[in-house]
Amino acid sequence: MECPKCSGVSYMAEEEFLQVLETEPVKVVTKGVYVCKLCTDRFTRIHVEDIQAKKKSEEKAVQSSAKDYRQARQDEIAETLRFF
């Protein structure tokens, strides 16, 4: 996130749950408190996230990281067997 005051890089210091919107699809409203690494200014942003889309993206990330791990492990085993 970019700082609105100095355009520096910031990080999320706190996140607070505000509300669940019972729409289709279900959405969650949260408030993030950010701190700028350059000027140490604090600012907030409201986020609205679709729960189903977030869940699907997290599942894809887990599946891809598991696939990458399996591939790396197979490559490691194949490299070890080449010495024999």
pLDDT digits (tens, 9 = 90+) for 33-64: 999 999 999 999 999 988 777 666 666 666 67
Res. 23 pLDDT band, cuts 50 70 90:
confident
Tell me the pTM.
0.58
CB atoms within 10 A of CB 36: 20
Q: How far apart are CA 26 and CA 59, in angstroms?
A: 18
CB atoms within 10 A of CB 51: 13
Residue 59: predicted pLDDT: 65
> Of the ranges 2-6, 25-29, 41-45, 75-79, which is most confident?
41-45
Q: Do 32 and 47 touch, CB atoms closer than 8 A?
A: yes
CB atoms within 10 A of CB 3: 19
Distance of CA 2 to the CA centre of its chain: 16
Residue of higher predicted confidence among 18 and 79: 18
